[in-house]
Amino acid sequence: MRRLRNLSLVLLAVFPVACCCDDPYDDHPPQALPVPAEIEVEVYDPVSNGVWEGVGVRVVEAYQEWSGCICGTTRPNLFLTTDRNGLVYLSPTVLAEFDVGFALDTGGRAILSPRFDADQAVVTLEVFADGFQSVLVDVPLSWDQPYAFVAVPFE
């Protein structure tokens, strides 16, 4: 009887520890929510260090960790042009419009999940203008860094 009671005490001590352990591969808090993904692009001339106004920027494809997909855009004619400051902002809504496999929230915005197997994406952008060679740049995004600013040299 005494042995059974000791075993019961050991099990009571071990059981809560075993039940409370989180997934060892998940480094995000369990109450964490998805976050919107966004990219800001600056296009500049590396020779003059000035910025380019009116240069096209489009999303070509994106690798999505959650699906394992390298998804090419279904909207190849969609692009934005840099403003007078050489900037383009790809909001979560705009990223979703390129249709490159992002998970979407109820508002239709591109999001990144806190799940360890769904918290990263790499977006490939193309910077282009008539008379110039296009430049491709990969932009990594993650749940803990869902906003990226990238400066792209263009000449």
Give me the CATH number covering residue 98. Answer: 2.60.40.10
Output the pLDDT for position 19.
Answer: 47
* pLDDT confidence of residue 31: 76
Residue 21 lies in a domain: no
Q: What residue type is assigned to position 152 of the chain?
A: V
Domain contains 12: no
pLDDT tens for each residue of the chain, 155 residues long? 555 555 455 445 544 444 455 455 555 667 799 999 999 999 999 999 999 999 999 999 999 999 999 999 999 999 999 999 999 999 999 999 999 999 999 999 999 999 999 999 999 999 999 999 999 999 999 999 999 999 999 99
Q: Is residue 82 part of a domain?
A: yes
- How many domains is the chain partitioned into structurally? 1
AA letter at 25:
Y
Let me know if residue 17 belongs to a domain: no
Do the domain assignments include residue 18?
Answer: no
Residue 129 contacts by C-beta under 8 Å, 6 or more apart in sequence?
52, 54, 55, 56, 154
Could you tell me if residue 103 is inside a domain?
yes
How many other C-beta atoms are found inside a 10 Å radius of the C-beta of residue 25?
8
Determine the structural domain holding residue 105 and report its residue range.
33-153
Measured CA to CA, the distance from residue 128 to residue 131 in angstroms comes to 9
